[in-house]
Every structure is written in structure tokens, then in C-alpha cells.
Structure 1
Amino acid sequence: MPQTQGVPHISLRHLKALAYVARHKNLTRAAKELNRSQTAITKAIGELETQFEIPLFERSPAGMKPTLCGEKLAHWVELAEAEFRAAGASYQNIKVDVKDASKLSVFSMSISYKRLASFIALYDHRDTKIAAQHLGVTRAAISGAVRELEDLLELSLFERDTNGIHCSPFCLQLARHLKLAFAHLRHGIDDIASLDGVTYGTVAVGTLPYTRTVLIPRAMNRVLKSHPQLEVSTTEGRYAQLEVALRSGDLDFIVGATRPLGDEKELVTETLFEDRLAVIVRTGHPLTKQEKVTLGDLQHYRWILPARNTPARLLFDRELSQDHLPRPEHTIETSSLSTVRGLLLESDSVALLSEHQIYFDKLYGVLTALPIALNHTYRPIGVTMRVHSHLSPAAQLFLEQLRQVAQEMPKQ
């Protein structure tokens, strides 16, 4: 089987040939549209079937009908081809003197995957040494492949200065489309591998602070219990960083407090449930001995808060405004739950968190929530995905489990 991690080790020209034969169900018409010989197309299909060790077409005098595996793979290849075309359209906008950008090998899927792999590795790491180590090649191979690509496009993709390697505007667009294209191809490989009744593949999840204690771990445990052959990877970070990874196909979705999307056309959110923030302290904190506690009672305590302009922080600021209270001074800002826990356990500080985030701390009696109802801090917790996102079977399984776990979460 070809590799499913990173850039698939399959000829892009062969995959495109498969998609066209599946579309026309006729070798002659596919060869004519691709401007290739029937012999070349036949050879391409044969090599793919050898690589996958499965028949992709049923051959008869009436034509070539794709098998279920062939049909599945062709679907994902067509999605990948659309990303190559979109990259070509972006290139055409800046290279108006080029007659037909879609015919360039980089946009017509006629280029070697190795050259594109070098480009993507350098884009991801911004360092030729690390990119070379990632692909198991020499630095010269990375530089040579990227230089050939730049020569083909007749423009610079990377700029180098004393501060490192920087991407040109078109480099950012090209990388995004290519990474999405290769994500589709990886999903296609996983999809046909799953047709024997066992779902294979990797789920890539971006996690925001709220989800890392219960929601994500519980969903992971459940999906891996029933599908132990799956691989799940999580990426932690700020929303802006995760959004970039989501848009380029490095993540299947982001799970956490959702953001208002406004006129956003490329992303969509699905709300799983709403949650309210709470004031968290250590067990034995002086305020736990009071029968009634108000926000005003906390003015002289040091606050541990999320970063400015995050949804939780904005809701907290609104809560203070509703109660006509000043914003706390000398705060500590962190999204690290382990850091918050350490600070709370060794001081009388107070923290703004969800009770879900301290689920196990409450269970073991080390942290608790003060009896203060922050009624203006409800926020939607959900999944952010690409519009018309084509999830792999593995990602779809994980999403279904997330929805189930979310339904069981206690309401605050």
C-alpha cells in the first residue's frame, strides 16, 4: 500500500488518469481529454492497481466501470484536482501574461510529488535542514526541487534574509491549495483501505483549552476502544494558529469555544452545547468559608485569566461591566491548565475557568468553584470545520463520538 502519511507516494498523473477514466467509463474518451495515449492510460491504471493490490475497474467490451474502490478513490482525486485548478487560477491572476496556467505541470497534476513534497516541507518548517530531515533527503535536494518549481513558475516563492526564510504572497496560496489537495489524497487512500469493514486513517484535531480535560480525551478513548486501528493526533495552540492549519488541511477540525464567523465563507461552526464560566479556587481558600460570595469580594485577590480578546476574557469583561466593577489589576494571563492549577494550589489567587476544565481536580478535592453565578459568560462550545468539508471515514467517526460525548456533558 502507498504511504498515507504526508504526501502520498503515488504518481499524480496516474491518479488523474484514474479519475478521468472513472468519469467517462471509457478509455478512449479519457485519453483524448488528457491528450495522452490509451497505452499510457492503461499502464497508469495497471500500476495503481498493483500499488493498491486491488482492482479499480471492471473491464468489458462496453467500457471500464470503476469498482467501489475505484469510485471512492476517483472522488477524492477529483477534490484534489479542484485544489490544483484553484492554485492555477490564483497564479493566473498574478501572471496575466501566461496564456493558460492550467496547462503548467504544477497545476495539471503532471508534476512529481517529490518536488511538491520538498516545497511543502520547506513551507512548513522554513528551514532547509529541518525540511530535509523531515523527508529523509539532502538539503541540496530540497533547495534544488524548490528552485526548479520557482523556475517553472517564473517567480520567487521564498525570500531569504538574516531572519530566516519568508514566504511570498503566492507561496502562501500555493501551499494552502497543495496541502488541501494532498489531504484529499490521504483521505482517499484511507477510504479505500476502510472498505473491508475496518476504518483506517488518522484524525487531526485542533484543541482549545476548554476541551482538553474531558471532551476530547473521552471521545478519543471511546473511538479508539471500538476502532483501535485508528490514529488520532491533537494540536494545541491559539485559535489563530489552529485556524491556519485548518484552512490548509493539516487539521480536520477545531474543537473548543467557537468564534463568530461573520461574513466568513470558508469556515463553518457546529455548536455542541453552551457552557458557563466559573470562578475557581483551591480547596480551603478563605472565600470557600463564606456562605455568600460576590464578584466584588474578589477585588483584592489576584486573578488568573485567559488572554485578552479571547472569547472567555471578553465575556468576563462584560460580566464586570454588568456589575459596574473595575477590571482587575496585576493579572496573570495563561491558557495552560497545569500552570493555573499550580498557581491556585500554592496561593489564594482566583481563576476564570469552566468547571469542565477542573473536572478531575474537583473529583479529587483539590480545586472547587465559588458560588458565584456568572450569568453573562455563557459561550458556545463546538466544532469549526471548512465549509463543504469532506471528512475522511476516520474523522467522521471521531466527530460522531464528539457529538455523543457532548450530549452527556453536565449542563452548567
Structure 2
Amino acid sequence: MTAPTSQDRAQSLSFRQLRLFEAIGDLKSVRRASEACSLSQPAVTQALAKMEAQLGATLVDRRASGSYLNEYGMVFHARIKRFFQQTERAVVEIGAAVNADAARPIVNRLTRSQLRTLVGVMEQGSFEQASETLEISAASLQRAARDLQGNLRVSLFYRTAAGMLVSPQGMKLGLAVKLALQEIEWGVMEVDSALDGSATPVVIGAMPFGGSVLLASVLDRFLERHPSADVRIMNESALEMTRCLRAGDVDFVVGLLPQDVPPELVAEPLVSTPYAVVGREGHPLTRAGKVSIEQLMAYDWITGTPGSSRRACFDRIFAGTPGPQTHVATCALPIIRHLLKGSDRLTLMTSYEISHEQGLRTLHCDPIQPVPAIGITTRADWMPTPVQSDFIAIIRDHVCAAPTPLRRAS
């Protein structure tokens, strides 16, 4: 029989167990936790024992003076507090409570099945699809949805000809809840890591071009330090990476930083790396001296996809002109490299990217402003695991040791 995964064990923990454990850690006493939660002391003791058995770790040391979190308990307690705080904050943000104190009793009425229903329907687009994915009957999901709306007294779903859909308020709550639920799973994984040295997974979003290059340059070093690590890399456009980061599908993103960073994200610049116009070795414009806008417009261009930093830079260069021909818009570096080397097409690359390419030449043009930076983007309220923190530290160290023409971003 296959051992339950960390996700399985996280999902097996009830919110009631987690709330009791939070109270024990805060109050340093099973007796005081039982009084605060209006339960008998034996009931709290039994709930804690069951949770420790599910996790395979003792979390609380019992002494004559009280009950105290041990090293595993402190790791797990930090994550559980974040789960409740994030859920309570989300309840306030959708207008179901006026503040965190008012949100707390509301959150105490919520169940895992109710929140799982909201997240499932949000991600799958319908109750029918969520029913298939979660392997729960549509009737059960609809009942959980009604209970959730009843507890919150906020409209989270609305009926259309195509069926029930998630409302904007429901989407807002669902996204926040999805991120909050991850805290429980990360807590389980961190306890496992503390017990047996296993590495928690790291899911990284690698932006095309520089992000992929920077990530590839540090992977070996990270794996040498964490040989049992589970590293998963997603490579998508800037818009998709931002969406994945907001949704919690990736832990952090490496690549060109957006010019406008939304308040829920934090961008850390690492490498200032100006754009340049690039063509193949032997391109006619490499012999033209300083190249004008008119000369650049005479050639076909490969542009970045809409919403990308590269596309915005291209649009600025040719603002107020008809612009050059642009038959291909892509962020796929192998395609760009092949098209450039086999034709007289042009594109934009940063100095960091060009330093890792062969067979391509930078054209002599006016400096392109503003100068972008390659860096790391995270969620504003993200608390990384030790393994995630170490990966980011390795990336920073690599940038500090990088030779010219790279320079540390200010």
C-alpha cells in the first residue's frame, strides 16, 4: 500500500484540529486551549494526539508547567497561524466581516469541503467539471456551496444558462483560500523535512530568455546542495507566469521584471540588463555603423508576445511610425534563435541573454530606455520554506559573482 503523501495528510487534517493546535501553541496549555475553544480537556488532548499521529511527529511537549511547542510544533504552528490569518483576511476583504475579530467565528464555521468546493469550481469552471476532478457528486458540491454562502452571507455563485458560475467575489475568495490552504501542506512538508531531511518541492516559473538562462546556470549548484530536491520548472509568457504566481501554482518567478508590479507581488531586481537590437552574424546592418530607425524598419522583426516587457520595448522604439513587419510574435527562444540565424530578421535581447548566445550580433543603435532588470518576483505575503529560501540565496550569490557585462541592479 502506498504511503500517504504530504498533500493527503494535509487534507486529512480538519480545521477543528488545526484551530485547537493553534490555541495550544498560543496559550501554552491544553487546559487553557480547551477553555478558549469551549471543549473538554480530554477532547482537546484526543484531537492533538490524532493530529500528531496523522503527521507522524510529536508537536507538543507536556510538562507540569504547561504544554509547549517543540521544534516540529513551532514549524507547523507558524504555517497554521498563517492559514487562519489569510482566510480571515479574505473573509474581511469580500465584505463578510468588518475586521479580523469578526471574521474569526465565521472562519470557525467553515469546513474543508466548503472551501475545496469553491476552489474546485473556480479552477474547473463549472460544478460538473469540478465534480469529475474532485470525484465528488455534483449534488454534494452544490450543497457545500450553499452552506459556504450561508456561513459568509455573501453571493459567491450565480446562475447562467450554462449553469452555476463563480462570482467575482467568489473568485477573490477562492484565490485567497487556495493560497491559504497551501500553508497547511507546506507545514506538513516542513515537518517531514525536519524529521528525515527530505526536501520540500520547489516550483519555479522561468520567464523565457533571461529567466531560463539564469535558472539553468544555478540548477547544478542547487542540486549538489539538495540532491533529493524535487524541482519543477514552468516556462511560460510573462502574463501567464504572473497569473500562475498569483494563483500559487509557482513559488517564485525568475526573469525580466515587469515595469508595473501589482501590490500583491514583490519584485527584487538582480541584474540590470539593457535591451539591444540583435541579428545574425553577418547581417547587412552589422556593417552599417550606427543604425537608424528607418533602417531597422526595413527588416522583418520577431516580437515578444502581447503583455511582455519585450513587446512593450518594441512598441516604444517604433512609436509614431508605421513600424516594421512583424510576422512572428513568440517568447520561445529556440524558435527565435533558429529564425534569426537563418534570415535577416531582427529582434530585441538583453545584454544578459546575448552573453549566452553564439552566432548573433548586436547592432549599433541608440541606447534603449528604460533599462530592464532580471530578478525574482514573489507574492508579497509569501513565507518560503528553507529549501525555497536556499534556492533564492543561490541565485543571488550567482549574480554577485557574475562577470561583466552584467552589473548588479541598484
TM-score between both structures, scaled by the size of structure 1: 0.84
In 2, distance between residues paired with 1:201 and 1:344? 40
* 1:77 and 2:77 correspond: no
After superposition, the C-alpha distances for 1:119-174 in whole angstroms (9 at most, x for unaligned) are: 21221121445434443444444444334433444454233535676421221221
* 1:370 and 2:362 correspond: yes
- Cα distance change, pair 95–17 in 1 and its aligned pair in 2 (3 A): closer
> Secondary structure at 2:13's aligned position in 1?
coil
Residue 114 of structure 1 aligns with which residue?
113
- Cα distance change, pair 404–197 in 1 and its aligned pair in 2 (3 A): farther
Residue 157 of structure 2 aligns with which residue?
158
- Cα distance change, pair 180–210 in 1 and its aligned pair in 2 (3 A): same
* 1:54 and 2:51 correspond: no
* 1:126 and 2:125 correspond: yes
Contact 2:285 2:363 in 1 (8 A): no
Measured after TM superposition, the shift of residue 74 of structure 1 is 0.7
Measured after TM superposition, the shift of residue 67 of structure 1 is 1.0
> Secondary structure at 1:8's aligned position in 2?
helix
In 2, distance between residues paired with 1:347 and 1:164? 51
Letter in 2 for 1:23: D
Residue 183 of structure 2 aligns with which residue?
184
Letter in 2 for 1:103: P
Q: Residue 399 of structure 1 is aligned with which of 380, 392, 410? A: 392
Measured after TM superposition, the shift of residue 215 of structure 1 is 0.9
Letter in 1 for 2:296: L
Residue 277 of structure 1 aligns with which residue?
275
In 2, distance between residues paired with 1:102 and 1:277? 50
What stretches of structure 2 of length at least 5 have no aligned partner? none
Q: Residue 24 of structure 1 is aligned with which of 24, 27, 42? A: 27
- Cα distance change, pair 100–167 in 1 and its aligned pair in 2 (3 A): same
Letter in 2 for 1:8: Q
In 1, distance between residues paired with 2:55 and 2:216? 34
* 1:266 and 2:264 correspond: yes
In 1, distance between residues paired with 2:180 and 2:4? 16
Contact 1:2 1:52 in 2 (8 A): no
In 2, distance between residues paired with 1:70 and 1:210? 42
After superposition, the C-alpha distances for 1:318-369 in whole angstroms (9 at most, x for unaligned) are: 4557xxx94623223322223323432443211112354466651xxxx402
1:215-226 paired onto structure 2 within 5 Å: 215-226=214-225
Q: Which moved more, 1:19-28 or 1:118-127?
A: 118-127
Measured after TM superposition, the shift of residue 399 of structure 1 is 0.9
Contact 1:303 1:328 in 2 (8 A): no
Q: Residue 337 of structure 1 is aligned with which of 326, 329, 333? A: 333
In 2, distance between residues paired with 1:246 and 1:164? 29
Tell me how many residue pairs correspond in the alignment: 397
Letter in 1 for 2:28: K
In 2, distance between residues paired with 1:283 and 1:163? 55
Aligned-residue identity in percent: 25
- Cα distance change, pair 76–134 in 1 and its aligned pair in 2 (3 A): same
> Secondary structure at 1:83's aligned position in 2?
helix
Letter in 2 for 1:118: T
Measured after TM superposition, the shift of residue 54 of structure 1 is 1.6
Contact 1:220 1:232 in 2 (8 A): no
Contact 2:239 2:308 in 1 (8 A): no
Residue 291 of structure 2 aligns with which residue?
294
After superposition, the C-alpha distances for 1:2-60 in whole angstroms (9 at most, x for unaligned) are: 64348633222112211110111111211111222212211111011111222111112
What stretches of structure 1 of length at least 5 have no aligned partner? none
Contact 1:207 1:234 in 2 (8 A): yes
Contact 1:176 1:248 in 2 (8 A): yes
- Cα distance change, pair 100–390 in 1 and its aligned pair in 2 (3 A): closer
Q: Which moved more, 1:308-317 or 1:60-69?
A: 308-317
Q: Which moved more, 1:378-387 or 1:307-316?
A: 307-316
Letter in 2 for 1:370: T
Measured after TM superposition, the shift of residue 82 of structure 1 is 0.2
Residue 243 of structure 1 aligns with which residue?
242
In 1, distance between residues paired with 2:180 and 2:160? 30
Contact 2:149 2:156 in 1 (8 A): yes
In 1, distance between residues paired with 2:259 and 2:297? 31
> Secondary structure at 2:267's aligned position in 1?
strand
Letter in 1 for 2:339: L
Contact 1:203 1:233 in 2 (8 A): yes
Contact 2:207 2:253 in 1 (8 A): yes
- Cα distance change, pair 81–158 in 1 and its aligned pair in 2 (3 A): same
- Cα distance change, pair 23–4 in 1 and its aligned pair in 2 (3 A): same
In 2, distance between residues paired with 1:130 and 1:23? 40
Measured after TM superposition, the shift of residue 248 of structure 1 is 4.0
Residue 349 of structure 1 aligns with which residue?
345
In 2, distance between residues paired with 1:242 and 1:163? 29
Q: Residue 305 of structure 1 is aligned with which of 284, 296, 303? A: 303
Measured after TM superposition, the shift of residue 373 of structure 1 is 5.0
Q: Which moved more, 1:3-12 or 1:189-198?
A: 3-12
Measured after TM superposition, the shift of residue 229 of structure 1 is 2.2
1:80-91 paired onto structure 2 within 5 Å: 80-91=83-94
TM-score between both structures, scaled by the size of structure 2: 0.85
In 2, distance between residues paired with 1:129 and 1:216? 39
Measured after TM superposition, the shift of residue 187 of structure 1 is 1.9
